[in-house]
Structure 1
Amino acid sequence: MTSNTNAPVVGVVGLGAMGSGMAQSLRRAGHAPHVFDVRLDVAEAFARDGGVACDTLAALGAQCDIVVSVVVNAAQTESVLFGDAATPGCAASMKPGSLFVMCSTVDPNWSVALEARLAAQGILYLDAPISGGAAKAASGQMTMMTAGTPAAYAKAGAVLDAMAAKVYRLGDRAGAGSKVKVINQLLAGVHIAAAAEAMALGLREGVDPAALYEVITHSAGNSWMFENRMAHVLAGDYAPLSAVDIFVKDLGLVLDVARASKFPLPLSSTAHQMFMQASTAGFAREDDSAVIKIFPGIELPAPDKKA
């Protein structure tokens, strides 16, 4: 890592599957990221290889020119920014003209309102949901769907490119990035549900699952989600990279956005019900490929004990 003393000080909040990879990409690009996670040991472990572990959000906000928030949803983002009386968030300590980059999947209208709320405090804002998975986050190859003012982009400089291979600029105000992410999640959720349904039918019909996977991944019916998620099913590995309840939330957002304009989404509605069923059946925290477990009368591949 080559240090860049002229670079802005960047903070990353949330060192989960995506956030930790993004922080690693920043470090690889020459930054010394300030990091915060509710699991302080995780933040400290990251900082041992370069960077600064902050024990409070207020401390991180005070020290950073740019704060990148990589948490699950709008409620957690609110907590990151505004905290409560006992535990202040980072917004109160962020300097005027600093930048908050919001990477969660949220209601676009909420993102628009947050931009205005932060502007009243002199804080710039980028609506910047992300996609690509943990491996692409770690390699700096993920996608960012961004929208914000010219001043926000000017403040971000090259920081976005340090974290993502594709940084799409979708508008000069918040909302457009979140709208595109919601549409991406429509496809992602429907594709996972369809992939699970196809694999379940193959199992029910006695097709060898490994052979089915090999054929489909080299045929027109393939999708990125089939190739990625059905590999988890073949391995019998439901350790969550993206959990069932993530798609309960995200497809719920998809339907909320469409409902506001009375726009029908029959496939999204069905996929949402499938994830809801899986969640209620006890698979909420398992990998989203566990949606296949809702299908009756099939025997799923056993865990690969060699792995």
Structure 2
Amino acid sequence: MGAPMAAHLMAGGHTLSTVLNRSPLPAGLTADVLETPAAVAAASEVVITMLPDTPDVERVLLGRNGVIEGIQPGSLVIDMSSISPIATKRFAESLRDKGVGYLDAPVSGGEVGAKAATLTIMVGGPADEFERARPLFETLGKNITLVGEANGAGQTCKIANQIVVALTIEAVGEALVFASKAGCDPAKVRSALMGGFAASRILEIHGERMIKRTFAPGFRIRLHQKDLALALDSARALGVALPNTASTQQLMNACAAMEGGTEADHSSLVQALERLAGHELSNEEA
């Protein structure tokens, strides 16, 4: 997702710097390629991170030759990764001790939204820093919300988003497997449901993926596994029960155990339900 987001920033007139990577820059993307995150931070007014998981963000921001070693007071760090809200607060405190602003701004919309600049952006941090970053956010997305002025609010909102998405995927999968095993055409069931109160983007898009067996990512099972693990870890710290999140995480674990499962789209969750039912949607005979 980072490459199309960077391309939108470049198209908006911003000069980019990035860290030397094993992969070359994508075609059409121009940036100063520097040796370390510290070097990028020293050359930048705003540093944006878009990384897979909490340890990756910690290494880039606070590790050896990390952002914290090069960034100047008055600069702004925006983390658009989906990571732990608890760790986010710690990262923000470390950078604020250096006189650096910090926003956590995870996104929803996936690679499609990144390419189309239609991402939903959920932001945690002070309102003045949010307003400073707003023009950048408007280059990248459409639904931009300051969820709260405390760091971690954006990450908490993203976890809530991932709970809703995961449980809705599971519900759509259950409904289609149930209907199919009962002898109904799952495609016709989906079409009927799209006209009623059960209609949703997940029924529309992922329901079709389930029926057509198009499980190329998309949003990978391993990334949604990570997000639900963040939800369960955070819930444990808060003393909150998330029973259906936990059961859906187990279904994702089952999918991950299948060959190639971790890299499949999260709609492939239906395959775990099919195994439990002893029935595949693709075997529909009605």
Give the corresponding residue for 2:44.
Answer: 64
Question: How far apart, in 2, do the equivalents of 1:264 and 1:45 lie?
Answer: 43
1:291 and 2:251 matched: no
Give the corresponding residue for 1:26.
Answer: 9
Give the corresponding residue for 1:253.
Answer: 230
**Comparing both structures, which one devotes a greater share of its residues to helix?**
2
- 1:27 partner letter: M
TM-score, structure 1 length as denominator?
0.82
- 2:280 partner letter: E
Give the corresponding residue for 2:180.
Answer: 203
Give the corresponding residue for 2:62.
Answer: 82
- 2:213 partner letter: G
Cα drift, residue 243 of structure 1: 1.1
Q: Describe the shift of the 1:32–1:215 C-alpha distance in structure 2 as closer, same or farther (beyond 3 A).
A: farther
Q: Describe the shift of the 1:235–1:89 C-alpha distance in structure 2 as closer, same or farther (beyond 3 A).
A: farther
Question: How far apart, in 2, do the equivalents of 1:24 and 1:207 lie?
Answer: 46
Cα drift, residue 191 of structure 1: 0.8
TM-score, structure 2 length as denominator?
0.88
Q: How many residues align?
A: 279
Give the corresponding residue for 1:118.
Answer: 95
Write out per-residue CA displacement over residues 180-239 of structure 1, whole angstroms, 9 at most, x where no aligned residue: 111111111111111122222233233323323322223221222222222222332222
Question: How far apart, in 2, do the equivalents of 1:202 and 1:36 lie?
Answer: 50
Unaligned ranges ≥5, structure 2: none
CA-based RMSD:
2.2
Question: How far apart, in 1, do the equivalents of 2:94 and 2:4 lie?
Answer: 29
- 1:138 partner letter: K
Percentage identity across paired residues of the two chains: 27
CA contact (8 A) 2:271 2:280 kept: no
CA contact (8 A) 1:98 1:155 kept: no
1:176 and 2:156 matched: no
Q: Describe the shift of the 1:110–1:213 C-alpha distance in structure 2 as closer, same or farther (beyond 3 A).
A: same
CA contact (8 A) 1:21 1:135 kept: no
Question: How far apart, in 2, do the equivalents of 1:146 and 1:212 lie?
Answer: 38
CA contact (8 A) 2:124 2:153 kept: yes
Cα drift, residue 93 of structure 1: 1.8
Q: Describe the shift of the 1:231–1:63 C-alpha distance in structure 2 as closer, same or farther (beyond 3 A).
A: farther
Give the corresponding residue for 2:110.
Answer: 133
Find the residue that maps to 2:15 and give its secondary structure. coil
CA contact (8 A) 2:127 2:146 kept: no
Question: How far apart, in 1, do the equivalents of 2:131 and 2:198 lie?
Answer: 42
Question: How far apart, in 2, do the equivalents of 1:45 and 1:247 lie?
Answer: 26
CA contact (8 A) 1:124 1:151 kept: no
Question: How far apart, in 2, do the equivalents of 1:256 and 1:161 lie?
Answer: 32
Map 1:206-217; keep pairs closer than 5 Å.
206-217=183-194
Q: Describe the shift of the 1:160–1:37 C-alpha distance in structure 2 as closer, same or farther (beyond 3 A).
A: farther
Question: How far apart, in 2, do the equivalents of 1:168 and 1:156 lie?
Answer: 12
Find the residue that maps to 1:114 and give its secondary structure. helix
Q: Describe the shift of the 1:40–1:263 C-alpha distance in structure 2 as closer, same or farther (beyond 3 A).
A: same
